[in-house]
Amino acid sequence: MRWIAAIAVLLFAACAPVQEEPLQPPPPPATVEKPAVPATEEMCKAQAGQWAPICRLQQPQCVLTFSDAGTLCTDSDQCQGSCYADTANGPLQPGVKAVGRCSLNSNPCGCNQRVEDGMPTPTLCVD
């Protein structure tokens, strides 16, 4: 008889909903100051940037690495660069609250979906 009670308790516990904690960014800081991307190779190197050909046209441009890369965000104002959604499993649906991560660097090339005001924007591809 005890084993029936034990099984009933286990079944009840197995049916309880599991709640996963969604990603929660820290409270938004005041607007982060965005560094100006240097226009010359000399100024780029002085700011520890990499002067490199980027995108499809391979035009040389300074690529700065951001110190807040990977930080949780809900808006690009919280990042030195942009706040990008994690689209590894496909683009996020419009109208659904989202949490992103601050971009790694100032390279604008590729396809990215931004998070602005806690909502995903359409995916934008820059060549």
Q: Which helix (H) or strand (E) holds 3?
A: helix 2-15
The whole-angstrom separation of Cα 124 and Cα 114 is 8
Domain ranges of the chain: 36-65, 67-122
The whole-angstrom separation of Cα 63 and Cα 80 is 13
DSSP state letter for 4: H
80 contacts 66 by C-beta, under 8 angstroms: yes
Give me 40's structure tokens.
């010359």
The whole-angstrom separation of Cα 43 and Cα 85 is 31
pLDDT digits (tens, 9 = 90+) for 64-99: 999 999 999 999 999 999 999 998 888 999 889 999
117 contacts 74 by C-beta, under 8 angstroms: yes
pLDDT digits (tens, 9 = 90+) for 11-38: 555 554 444 455 665 565 567 889 999 9
Give the pLDDT score at 51.
97
pTM of the model: 0.73
DSSP per-residue letters across 6-57 = HHHHHHHHHHSPP-PPPP-PPPPPSPPPPPPPPSSHHHHHHTT-EEEEETTT
